Amino acid sequence: MKKIIQIPSLLKSLTALLLTLVLSQPTAKAQSRISLQADAGLSIASLKMKVLGIENDELHSINGLQGRLVAGYQLSDNFSLHAGLGYVQMGASIEHEDHHDDIRINALEIPVLFRYQLPLGSGSLGLSAGPALAYHLSAFVHEHEDGNETEEELTIGNDVDDFVKPINLGLQAEVSYTHSSGILLNLRYNAGLMELGTSDLIEMSNSYLAVGLGYRIF
């Protein structure tokens, strides 16, 4: 019973805190070194695979969704450090004679980026780079067979029979523009650095290009 009574009180406290942050936003922007932004958009991913050293040239890029929440700390007037938590869809499209089959990998991503920013017009231009750790949540293949569409889950792990390893380390580079109103636009590229194939016979790596629209909360 105590938990039921405390929930409305907690919600009121969180609402009051949120209102305080919103109302004090101009002051916070002027005084705080800490920033928080959210963005979401489209990912264009590709997957490279070699079997016995022969590259699979039937794999093509595939569109997906992506989104992030990124916190930053201002180190100086022009340099800042940013760390975030994001979701991104990766994979590839497999071309056949009359259709495409899709491989999709859903990943949780933790980027750590150093950003150089300079004033531009009514906002600022940012150039960022740094590592990003990705954890593969799930993987699926969407196939067409005898006129029917099927979806099969692919296994994630380090065993020989698994499709892809669970962890990947990537290197990211990003160009962004943040308007004084808080609206932002960014373009980033992520190159996977680790070998994702679980068998000695298969070499596999991934990469993606992402475009996002977002808002700097404070």
Which sequence spans correspond to the domains of the chain? 1-31, 33-216
The whole-number pLDDT of residue 2 equals 36
List b or e across 130-161, with b for residues whose CB sees 16 or more CB atoms inside 10 angstroms: bebebebeebbbbbeeeeeeeeeebebeeeee
Locate 188 and state its tokens.
């980033």
Determine which helix (DSSP H) or strand (DSSP E) holds 66, and give its type and residue range: strand 62-74
* 211 alpha-carbon distance from chain centroid: 10
With CA atoms as reference, report the closest residue to 90 among 218, 189, 201: 189
Per-10-residue mean pLDDT, the chain, length 218: 44 53 47 90 95 89 97 96 98 81 95 97 97 97 78 94 96 98 98 94 95 96
Q: Per-residue pLDDT tens for 157-193?
A: 999 999 999 999 999 999 999 999 999 999 999 999 9
What dotted CATH number matches 33-216?
2.40.160.20
pTM for this prediction: 0.81
